[in-house]
Amino acid sequence: MDRLVSIGEAAKALGVSITTLRRWEASGKLVAEHTAGGHRRYDLAKLKPELFRSEAEACRRTVAYARVSSHDQKDDLERQKQVLELYCARQGWTFEVIA
């Protein structure tokens, strides 16, 4: 399901400026297709995959697992859990963190 959009639409979908998208492309963070006229087109399914997930994928639940090897590392465990929660939330996943 390829849905190519202009740089303006892609910037709006991501909540960033057009200049930021150009900078991301120059640094290799994003790949844009170019039309014959040289205009950038972005695949919205790659930029915002949560908009294109199937119903079966939407019902999926991600389980993130954090552990440390000793009780003395309890603070490290809390940091691990926070990092996992942030990552899963940014991916738009339904998740549970087990420690």
Find the catalytic residue in 6, 17, 27, 69. Answer: 69
What six digits make up the tokens of 99? Answer: 């420690």
Pairwise CA distance, residues 8 & 10, whole Å = 5
Catalytic residue at 27? no
The residues annotated as belonging to the active site are 69
